[in-house]
Each structure stands twice: as structure tokens, then as C-alpha cells.
A and B are shown apart, each in its own frame.
Chain A
């Protein structure tokens, strides 16, 4: 299932001698106007925005059947809570999430409005950001004031981007996943940079390795240890590399073979979440199957708090359309669930699967459960056995 997201900007975002002017689309207004002021550390914000933009336009994993994916990426979004600005993006394969938080001490004035909107990150603006240097504060505008709006009609930008349903569901899953992540080791940023620099680049790094604290800095291991977090596809973590020279520390968080990396920088933070496997987007993690959708909130690992974020998407209905839940409902409707005293038989696709309860949770004889257990949420057969009881 694919939904079409329409981005309408009054003008392309631009970085020039007047500063960085980000065009907005959708959210609390057609073109919200959140912020107009100075940012204290332009190189950090520039590098952070480039990292967010890079994630948005990258497909870290291409399924074997998809030889050359033509990528039309979803634009990053920015959220203003009246104190901070949070820029978020999501990779096209739904496996990498990045968020740059520009903290209050990085802004000379508080944002004057709240809400979430899309921002245009076009190529020329990215090129200009890449060449940004200097220590002087830089002007940043997120949206346009009324005076400027009147001059902009001729520059309008409109773009339609097909968003796969799993992209939208992945965004919704992130909140649940981030909440469940456990803090692990904290490293000086230089340690992480060294680790990344000593590893070869390329597709051979697609497996799961564990970044483990050790003498002289983190090392890679094939099994978890105290303080370790897993990295599925070390190359995906390289999105943080340009920011490491600005970072003081890197905090890590883990959940199964997924991980989060939080770079603490003067006046800003960058959070990157990696899915549990390169070939797995967040959409299939099944957290929402246990908790239900809570798509209007983000989660900040830095202080363990939620933040409001009403997504400016045309596709929110997709949240409820979880394929496994849909399949489970179909099984129930078809009368395929046959409870018994010791176990329940669920007939699906010509096979009778056995679901039973154990002290560690339900078990099933299907391939999904054999591969993932309950680590990605229940399989459709277990879900189906739950549904009749819920009724």
C-alpha cells in the first residue's frame, strides 16, 4: 500500500548571506512560521541538518528483487515545542531514523510557535550547508513572516512523493521502540570515530555486531556483553561520522539487535536509531501490536521524555493498517482458530499451526515465530488466538 504525500513550499529553502531560510509545508498551517533568529553554532547545525538530510535521501538496503530503486524521499520534518527545534528524517528503507535537536542555548530566541511541519531540503541548499564555516551566529528562519510571504508566489515548489505504507508505520513504531530501549555505555566521541575509521566500508558490514566497551575504547564483538549495544550494518552508523568532531560524548541505547546513538554536542544533540537488521525496517517490529498506535508523540532518549509531534502527513490512516493484524483478523473471520485445552490450532494457508501458552509467553509452530520469536511482536497466529479472547 502506497500513499501520496504532497509537499507544497512557497519557495525553495536557501542558504545565502542572509542566513538559512527553510521553507515549510503543512502541519498547524499550510506554511507554518516557527522560528526567526540566530543559531549560536552554525557548523554544528549545518552538519546536523546535512546528516538528517542524508538519512532522508538514502536507501541503506535494497531488496534483491529491486535492482535500482528510484528514490523519492520524504522530506524531513521539523517540530517546535516553543523551546527547541527538532529536525527528523527517516531513510527510504525505513531502517534508519535521525533527529537533530537544536537546544534552547543554541537559539538566541525561543521559537514563537509550536507544531510540526515538513521542511524543504533541496540540493543547492545542502551544497551550501556543506561549505558553511565560521564561528559567528547565523540567521535561521523556519517558515516565512507575512512581509516575505507576499513576495513569494512566483517561487512555489510542489512535489508529490509516494510514501510506502511501511514508511508511515515505521514512523509510528519508533516511539514504542525508543521507549523500550535500555541505556548502555557512554563513550568519548573520539572513541566512536576511531572505531568507525578502523572498519572497512561496504556491504560486507551488513551483519550484526556488538559494540562493546573495552580497554582503550569500544571494540566489536559477535556476542553481547555488559554495556554493549548491537549494530546491524555498521555502515549505517556512519551517518553520525561528520558530527563526531563536534560531539563531546556518545550515549548508546539498545533493544535486541537495534540500537540508538545519541551525540551530545554544544547547543545540539543528534539521535540516530538503527533497526535490528539491515533488511528490516522499523515497520515490522510489531511494537504497536502490543501497545496500539501513539503516532502523535516522539520520544527523547536524552531525558527519557515524550514530546508532542502531530505529523503533517496525508497518510495517518495507514497506522491502523498493520498487515499482521489484518491477517489475524482474517483468520478469525474465517473460523481458522480452534481453541483446545492445551493449545490452539490455527489453520492458515493449508497448514495447522499450534499456538500454546508458556511461562515465557505464547509459542507458535510457524516460520515467523521460529525466526523471530516474540522479538518483533506476535505472529499473526498468536494474534489471532488473542482476538477471540478479546471479544
Chain B
């Protein structure tokens, strides 16, 4: 990803689409895509990031919350969150919120 794309994604507002259901189990979060009928497993960190994305306005805001929660550097967390988000987008497990 280019720096510009990263910047776009950081400012992006993401949400879990209507056709995606996720549920927390003891050791993982299971994400079901009803369009494809496929299940995806997130480790606890992935589950925590998804949760933060849902409760934040932008990707940058979610990264900020996570950085303070995990007491990690903002840059490092942003990189991890961006990589994760781009993976989720590719799999259709999150989508860009339309501007309202």
C-alpha cells in the first residue's frame, strides 16, 4: 500500500456490512460472510481491532484507542490496524461507510 492509500484508509469510516455476522467465542472471533457462506476466524487481537473499528468514527480513531489500550506506539499500531483493515476489505468483511 502506498502512503497515500494509507492516509485514505486512516481517514476512512468502516462498518460491518449487513451480510456479515460476527460472534466472539472463547479463543477466537468467528466472522461469517452470508454472501459467500464462508467463515473467517480472527484471533483475539483481530477481534479486538474489529470491535474498536465498530465503535470508532475512523480507522485512525480506532488505532488511537488501541494504542492507548495496549500501551504501544501509535505508528506501530496504525500499521497493524491498516494491514488488518485492508485484509478485511479484500474479504468483504468490512465496508466503507457511505457519507451521511
Q: Decide whether A and B are members of one complex.
A: no
Chain B interface (Cβ within 8 Å of chain A)? none
Chain A interface (Cβ within 8 Å of chain B)? none
